[in-house]
Structure 1
Amino acid sequence: MADEEKEKPLDPKVEFVRKVARETGVSEEQVRALVSLLGYDLSSVMREARILKRGHEHPRH
């Protein structure tokens, strides 16, 4: 049974969120928020995630 669970493909939407989070360094929660605004367009979500990450690394005073 455990082998069957390992072979079961994951939800593509979950994988999308994890991929963007892993590649950009933002949280999965932040990616889900971006997806709710932009949909599942990879280039748009990646762009906004990178902008979001840069904003957190360099706080403005």
Structure 2
Amino acid sequence: MPDLSRRIVESKRIDAVLDLLGNSTILDSPAMLRRGGRACLAGCLAGLDPIADFTPLLQMVSGV
């Protein structure tokens, strides 16, 4: 689900995210995490479409 981090009340308070969808959610998963939280990309169930302008170090939330 795109933009899930903006739709859930617990956003920014989650300890860990297990992302099974992959490219379609990889930038949104870390946005849900609290500072020091962890994200694990473990699958690509949503396909392998390229991510436009993908620069993970610049797009990742600080402290995650």
TM-score normalised to structure 1 length: 0.23
TM-score normalised to structure 2 length: 0.23
The answer to which structure has the higher helix fraction is 1
The answer to which structure has the higher strand fraction is 2
Query: Which structure's relative contact order is higher, taking Cα pairs within 8 Å and 6+ residues apart?
Result: 2
